A = this chain, B = another copy of it.
Amino acid sequence: MSMKMREKIDKLFNPRAVAIIGASRTIGKWGFTFTLHLLRGGYKGPIYPINPATDELLGIPAYKSLEAIPEPVDLAFILLPADKVPAAVDDCGRRGIPACVIITAGFAELGDRGQALQREIVLAAKPYGMALVGPNCAGMISAEPMSLYCMMQPVFPPAGHIAVVSQSGNIAGSFLYMLWKQDIGVSRCVSVGNQAVLTTEDFLEYLIDDEQSRVVVAYLEGVHDGRRFVDVARRLTRRKPLIVIKGGKSERGVAAAKSHTGAIAGSSAVFDAICRQCGIIRVDDVEDLFDTATAFLSQPIPQGNRIGIVANGGGWGVLTADACIDAGLDVALLPEETLRRLDDRLPPWWNRQNPVDLVAGMSRGALYKAVEILCQCDRLDGMIVLGFGYGNGAAAALSFLPSGVVPGSAEYITASHESDRRGMNFLVEVMAKYRKPVLLASEFGVGAERDGNNPILDLRRKNIIVYPSSRRPAQVMARLVRYGQYLQQEGD
């Protein structure tokens, strides 16, 4: 990518002023919705809706044309009917607007006639070297510093460090919603649409040096230029993790992808080979993507695949051991020294193996001590800790009794909440201190919102998820391990 294009993508992500060409007063029209979302997202620069038929739109002044705008504009969204788009692009170019996002559909995805119209856009943009996104896309987000939220879907995740590049606006919007509703932040998002000018590879390349973006996720159906993709992906994955969902694994999925973006999905096995070669973490589902992206943001990268499990009850320990083995991890035998150190801290009936089963009713202090002892063991590379978040439930049950019936209950309730909070702080410290991932799982991940389980919600704001599942943390751990192995190989 040329230096010039990089500078223009900088403007795309950090525009000083935005125009919406085809803004509308009519609820339900995209020209309305995009203006609404830009306002709702709190964009920090001036917004210039352009609509020749009105002076006002959604409570802000509207403009008859680009010419009527008093100041320079860095970014224009184009929502006009397809046949008017090429002229609008040329107009933007003449006005010196460096970046455009074309939302309008009805181009190459429709076949021959649309192809021709799309070529007109490319030709219109070319003399200006414009950074052009789309057409047929769902918009973009750039959280810092301008608070630019301009997607088709009403999604407003906080500013953070996940970057999203998507060949499906639908998947981008869904993923952003899932992040938003779980308080996880994004840096940039771009729905690449038909990629008439800027391609997936361009954005991946841009993100290599984007400091706001620490984890990059992509939804792909096809790859434009295989060689460039491999080159960019390798450069990216040495700096930060790249997590990819590839749509079109199956023949039916390929057919659906073809009708969706016109992408030739290519062989899933070939793509798997590319992922291995480039250190790309491949996942299958938006939920997997959520789990994996948050873990890469919050967890140290493990040095190997030897996992310690701490359970406060047998069943979860058994299932998590099974899930780890399924995921290709090693539920390592504990060395004698670690067993002895645990003996000093745990009651005599503890099971003396991995998973360490603390048995119901053990004090929380013992659980956390056990986690630290495992973190100190040089035969373990990562931990999965089960049962986090119990204090809240115990406190809620006790709150059922009328006050005064049981002496000391108020203090016990406070202590229950405190114990989870201390546990939370302890776990965060331990991860940082020993540089080993510590993943958490318990049923309390499910009810945290409803129960006001603040330690779990606070952990989530630190990108640490309490998975209501044994399978999910095991899979995530396996992905952390594979990325660590890739980095080690590359470092050799």
Contacts and interface: CB of A to CB of B under 8 A. Distances in A.
A419 to B, nearest CB: 12
Given A221-B318, A314-B260, A443 B175 contact: yes
B315 A171 contact: yes
B58 A319 contact: no
Interface in A393-413: 393-394, 396-398, 400-402, 405-406, 408-409, 412
A255 interface: yes
A322 B58 contact: no
Contacts of A58: 401, 405-406
Interface stretch (A25-33, A65-73, A199-207, A224-232): A25-33
Contacts of A166: 315
Interface in A443-471: 443-444, 446-447, 449-451, 468-471
B323 A284 contact: yes
B319 A285 contact: yes
A247 interface: yes
A472 B287 contact: yes
Contact of A181 (B167, B175, B446): B446
B285 A168 contact: no
A396 B36 CA distance: 11
B59 A402 contact: yes
A447 B322 contact: no
A286 B401 contact: no
Contacts of A33: 397
Interface stretch (A115-123, A272-280, A351-359): A351-359
A138 B360 contact: yes
A341 B251 CA distance: 25
Given A153-B393, A256-B355, A318-B248, A412 B27 contact: yes
A257 B318 contact: yes
Contact of A313 (B168, B249, B250, B442): B168
B318 A286 contact: no
Given A177-B443, A322-B248, A168 B27 contact: no
A343 interface: no
A336 to B, nearest CB: 17
Nearest to A56: B405
A424 interface: no
Contact of A170 (B313, B354, B408, B471): B313
Given A322-B250, A325-B253, A316 B170 contact: yes
The interface centre, meaning the residue of A110, A155, A219, A257 with most chain B CB atoms within 10 A of its CB, is A257
A331 B285 contact: no
Contact of A446 (B178, B255, B317, B470): B178
Given A250-B322, A326-B249, A397-B36, A177 B447 contact: yes
A469 B318 contact: no
The interface centre, meaning the residue of A178, A245, A256, A352 with most chain B CB atoms within 10 A of its CB, is A256
A293 to B, nearest CB: 14
B393 A259 contact: no
Given A174-B443, A446-B182, A468 B351 contact: no
Contacts of A361: 30
A37 interface: yes
A139 B398 CA distance: 18
Interface in A40-80: 40, 58-59
A173 B387 CA distance: 11
Interface string A234-263: 000000000001011111110111011100
5 contacts: A171-B319, A181-B451, A253-B325, A285-B472, A449-B449
Interface of A: 25, 27-28, 30, 33, 36-37, 39-40, 58-59, 105, 110, 138, 152-155, 166-171, 173-175, 177-178, 180-182, 219, 221, 245, 247-253, 255-257, 259-261, 284-288, 311-319, 321-326, 331, 349, 351-355, 357, 359-361, 387, 393-394, 396-398, 400-402, 405-406, 408-409, 412, 442-444, 446-447, 449-451, 468-472
